[in-house]
Amino acid sequence: MSTPFPNEPLMDFAVESNRESMAATLRRLRAQCPGEVRPLIIGGRAVRTPNILDSVDPSNPDFLVGRVCCASAAEADRAVEAAKAAFPAWRRAAVEERAAVLRRVAVGMRRRRFDLAAWIVMECGKPWREADGDVAEAIDFCEFYAREMVRLRERPRQRHYPGEENFLVYEPCGVAAVIAPWNFPLSILTGMTMAALVAGNTVVVKPAEQSPVIAAALFELLAEAGIPGGVANYLPGLGEEAGRRLVERPDVALIAFTGSRAVGLQVIESAARRRPGQRRVKRVIAEMGGKNAIIVDADAELDEAVAGVVASAFGYAGQKCSACSRVIVLESVHEAFLTRLVEATRSLVVGPADDPATFVGPLIDEEARRKVLSYIEKGKSEGTPALLVECAQTKGYFVGPAIFDRVAPDSPLAQEEIFGPVLAVLGADTFDQALEIANRSDYALTGGLYSRGPAHIEQARREFHVGNLYINRKITGATVDRQPFGGFKMSGVGSKAGGPDYLLQFCDPRTITENTMRHGFAPEEKDEAPSSPRQP
């Protein structure tokens, strides 16, 4: 029996030395910003382009965190060609060799943990604990996928038959395009990239336009870990140019995407078209967000429910695909719950991400801020404003938490993904009605229930149709291996990240059957070791 997977512990910022180290790292890195323009990495070499992407601090957009070269379609072509050239050797590399690279990256992440968290704070506006959790999850992905690939290679073979041996082996698909998001700029980027690499694929990575600097840090770690040139290629650029070209290339075998539903559906549609020279059906792994609900039952422990809803709705300013944006409350406890929810939310600190006291940081950019503010305006007519927190920050993309009560189940506020600190509160007369409202969504990513009734808990297990259901706890913060993450319906397609099936999506399974009944005798060639499908 294998030992349980040991998740990376979170940093305890209650310890004074940890707080001092984080603050000192932020000061040191800020003094170095923006630094030199970071190049693309194609075929193991730095490639510079005339176009530049600027990365700014969402807490203070006047502060330039870093500058990176911006890839066009031409550089995307070069990167795919480099990945194709590197694929045969990387495909033949032993699983242990590929897994060792991932483990060395994890070692580097632990060594540079404060640096990586500080870059996330500055570039993506994540408060300290959220940024450190991002790094810890990235470490987990490296270690877990290294372990899982070894397990897949060593899994029991297929059933033999007298005179016949049967084997199931997993081989890489080819070139993988990784199109990553900004809201988990290290962990999701690392997870998709490492899964592709350890399975034997070569990768071209296009990070989000808002978070290219932390992606460059990952590639520094890959270089330190000894990744061969061309196996992993760094391609920051615009989605409309470099990203689109990667999706359209006929020699890209699979695409791992995390982002909005609109872009994800475009990726799936484009990848489904066969183009000249294309010799396989492209595989798409896509995570596309959610409109997640928490049900508060009549017998729920209200203080626990309030704490869980607040953390799920307003952590990282609601910019998690798993965030709670709807809470459905049984009428008998509706007013009591709402009163406590409003007061708990009012106490949250809204401010710059580099302030350790901050709970609600900035939104990622001005476009996101405008979108969230437009939903808050809609909410004033679609529900009753229960709380609209004014933000005192004069710089940055800040929006204070907003809670709207008595929102209709079919209103845009209750159906559309907002990706900000806006929470719709809905009422339900019965538990059956609460479940029906919760399931009335195009998405099916996460959901939650606060209840002390065994019958209702069991009913939710059967009938609350989401990829990750959390009972009597917050609905964000899935942990690798413990809570494999991913949804269905319009929330995405593919198996769960951080779970036992995830790597299978990056492989082509092959069955090898050998008739072992001897038919004559073929002598072994001299000076050549015998080969056998018994060791595929």
Q: Which residues are catalytic?
A: 287, 321
Distance (Å, whole) CA 460 – CA 449: 8
The two tokens of residue 141 are: 């992905």
CB 241 within 8 A of CB 271: no
Sort 285 into a burial class: Cβ within 10 Å, 0-12 / 13-18 / 19+: buried
How big is the CA angle at 319 (ends 106 and 344), to the nearest 5 degrees? 110
| Helix, strand, coil in percent for the chain, rounding step 5 | 40, 20, 40
Instruction: Give the chain's length.
Output: 536
Q: Which helix (H) or strand (E) holds 503?
A: none
Token pair 């391609």 in the structure block, residue: 235
Distance (Å, whole) CA 373 – CA 368: 9
Centroid of chain to Cα 471: 22
Distance (Å, whole) CA 251 – CA 81: 9
DSSP 390: P
Name the CA radius of gyration of the chain, rounded: 25
CB 91 within 8 A of CB 250: no
CB 293 within 8 A of CB 468: no
Q: Which amino acid is at 306?
A: V
The two tokens of residue 38 are: 């970071």
Q: How do beta strands 52-57 and 60-69 pair?
A: antiparallel
CB 31 within 8 A of CB 88: no
Centroid of chain to Cα 63: 26
CB 113 within 8 A of CB 132: yes
Distance (Å, whole) CA 165 – CA 191: 35
Distance (Å, whole) CA 59 – CA 249: 37
CB 244 within 8 A of CB 75: no
Distance (Å, whole) CA 286 – CA 268: 8
Token pair 């018994």 in the structure block, residue: 534
Pure H helices in 280-333: 302-314
Token pair 């036992």 in the structure block, residue: 500
- CA distances (Å), origin 21, targets 107, 123, 372: 19, 19, 34
Using omega within 30 degrees of 0 as the cis cutoff, is the peptide bond preceding 409 cis?
no
